[in-house]
Structure 1
Amino acid sequence: MRDGIRFGKAQVNGITLHYAEAGPADGPPLVLLHGFPEFWAGWRHQIPALADAGFRVIAPDQRGYNLSDKPRGVEAYDLDRLADDVVGLADHFGIAKLKLVGHDWGASVAWWLTTAKPERLERVAMINAPHPWVWRKAMREDAEQKKKSWYVQMFRLPWLPEAMMRSRNWRGLSDGLVSSSRPGTFSDDDFADYRVAWSRPGAVTAMVNWYRALLKKRMPESLPRIKTPVLLIWGLGDQFGAVSGAEASLALCDDGRKLFIEGATHWVQHEEPAQVNAALIDFLRA
């Protein structure tokens, strides 16, 4: 138990996922999916607020991260497997239809589920990530996104990205978080927790393999319309994602809503937690 947070493990899709849980056991279940390079604690500003609002909040370490299993090989991090992990987690908790929130890569997985298995979703909120189909297309065709995604192309290389991130006590990763966020967004305590998670055997390669798998994935020529209600929250100072990708993703939705926040970055859930939490509660309660 940590500040009202309970911890557990679930056997899911052939692996073990570690998760944090908070809120009433009989509350509406809500799954939170973190992104790169965080873990469940990337939701530290959201978990208490959502639990206090009555949700049963479940925040897993996604595969490859922190205390969850880290299967070897790039193919283990294909979007379909990542999406199946979420469905398996829902099955573990007996959840027929999910309320789901994702940030960064967690939002990419959430977007993919809206396409692959919409029958398992009730409402989905994405934070600062376009649909991966849009993202892949934009990295080829959109000049602004090409510029913002330079680091993704570097992740194609073997071993070098991992070595750069590990160097100088993980300065590559921690400096990246600092330079892409508002001053003071991440504390020394946050970085101490992150370094522990990044240092777990196999974690850094697994984290990079999410990108390698996306770059290798064969995408369909087109997508079906997304009928699940979607809320897209976007910090407009995002150094990694062009807002054109946000708009293109919303254009795939029959019921897409947006909250674009001036002055916030890719890490908007950390920088503007009160505004983000209020928007999530309002959307997810409907």
Structure 2
Amino acid sequence: MNSLQPLRTLEAGVLAVAYHESGPAGGPPVFLMHGFPYDIHAYAGVVPALVEAGCRVIVPYLRGHGATRFLHEATQRSGEQAALGADLLALMDALAIPRAVLAGYDWGGRACCVVAAVWPQRCAGLVSYNSYNIFDHARALEPDTPENERRLWYQYYFHSERGREGLRRNRRGLARLLWQTWSPSWRFDDATFERTAAAFDNPDFVDVVVHSYRHRYNLVPGDPAYAAIERQLAKQPPITVPAITFDGADDGVRPPSPASAHARLFTAAREHHLVPGAGHNLPQEKPAVFAQAVLQLVRA
């Protein structure tokens, strides 16, 4: 079982970001961004292939996860999409990386999409699971189909104080349930889950998660520091860089959609693929597929 150790720590924006870095310092840079409720080990099977190809690979813990910490107690523990994108940009700045291939899924994919849409000059190419992964706040309270609403039960759970307390008390049990239901064909073992579950012991995990799922439904205000970015995202800006997008055929939370559903939001070359036998955690379930997509953009 591959482990992404050792970790480095770097002050970037409002965070002391814990991240794994490997590969040659002069290689083409790639950022791999994990989702919720996951951690950097989602990419344990992806990193070796990229390093072997000569890439400089950076895999950070998101805010509220693992060893990443806020620098100041007064900073709002926001989980909004603008904050995630700003964190990625700040890390690129701190590492003096002007441009990189950005790849991710779930929260991490959203961070990549935000940077690609708002700061396209910083993105050499985008790998995004679930395609255009920028939340549309203007449509937040539009109901979905009953089946899709059922899939989102955990988001509505976090809207209540019962949900906050449930996450605080049962973060491992809840995360494991989400892994099982979101990736029903993935047979992960206890050791794989526990290696990641340690990331949920971060002292800000509950606050960041709860804020994320309340803010996206306009139930709580965002951090004023990201208001300008949120205004840009409200316009649903297109992705203007080369992109490879995926859906998993077995995804239990975000059912697959055809490429045409997001076509207007990608104005450069884009490939879209449906991956058989894959659920929501694509890089960990199908690492070779994910790595090949990253390398395709690196070599473009």
1:68-107 maps to which residues of 2 (within 5 A)? 68-70=68-70, 76-107=78-109
- Change in 2 beyond 3 A, CA 1:267/1:221: closer
Distance across 2 between alignment mates of 1:18 and 1:57: 14
- Change in 2 beyond 3 A, CA 1:65/1:96: same
Partner of residue 157, structure 1:
160
Partner of residue 30, structure 1:
30
Partner of residue 240, structure 2:
227
Q: Which has the higher contact order (CA 8 A, sep 6+)?
A: 2
Q: TM-score, normalised by structure 1?
A: 0.87
Preserved contact between residue 138 and residue 146 of structure 1 (Cα < 8 Å): no
Distance across 1 between alignment mates of 2:211 and 2:178: 18
How far does residue 77 in structure 1 lie from its aligned partner after superposition?
2.6
**Are positions 1:249 and 2:262 aligned together?**
yes
**Are positions 1:62 and 2:62 aligned together?**
yes
Preserved contact between residue 38 and residue 194 of structure 1 (Cα < 8 Å): yes
Preserved contact between residue 227 and residue 254 of structure 1 (Cα < 8 Å): yes
* % identical aligned pairs: 25
**Are positions 1:148 and 2:151 aligned together?**
yes
Q: TM-score, normalised by structure 2?
A: 0.83
Q: What's the Cα RMSD here?
A: 2.7
SS where residue 212 of structure 2 aligns?
A: helix
Q: Deviations over 1:11-36 (max 9, x none)?
A: 11122111011111211111111100
Match of 1:239 among 239, 252, 264: 252
Preserved contact between residue 23 and residue 55 of structure 2 (Cα < 8 Å): yes
In the alignment, residue 248 of structure 1 is paired with which amino acid?
A
**Unaligned ranges ≥5, structure 1:** none
Preserved contact between residue 185 and residue 270 of structure 1 (Cα < 8 Å): no
Match of 1:259 among 268, 273, 277: 273
Q: Deviations over 1:62-102 (max 9, x none)?
A: 11111101567766333222211111111111111121001
**Unaligned ranges ≥5, structure 2:** 223-229
**Are positions 1:214 and 2:216 aligned together?**
yes
In the alignment, residue 202 of structure 2 is paired with which amino acid?
R
SS where residue 108 of structure 1 aligns?
A: helix
Preserved contact between residue 124 and residue 229 of structure 1 (Cα < 8 Å): yes
Distance across 1 between alignment mates of 2:291 and 2:80: 30
- Change in 2 beyond 3 A, CA 1:77/1:184: closer
Distance across 2 between alignment mates of 1:168 and 1:60: 25
In the alignment, residue 228 of structure 1 is paired with which amino acid?
V
Q: Deviations over 1:211-262 (max 9, x none)?
A: 2232236766643332111111210221111333864334300122211112
Distance across 2 between alignment mates of 1:169 and 1:87: 29
Alignment size in residue pairs: 284
In the alignment, residue 29 of structure 1 is paired with which amino acid?
P
Distance across 2 between alignment mates of 1:138 and 1:7: 37
Distance across 1 between alignment mates of 2:288 and 2:19: 24
Moved more, 91-100 or 203-212: 203-212
How far does residue 41 in structure 1 lie from its aligned partner after superposition?
1.5
- Change in 2 beyond 3 A, CA 1:104/1:250: farther
Preserved contact between residue 84 and residue 110 of structure 2 (Cα < 8 Å): no
SS where residue 274 of structure 1 aligns?
A: helix
- Change in 2 beyond 3 A, CA 1:269/1:114: same
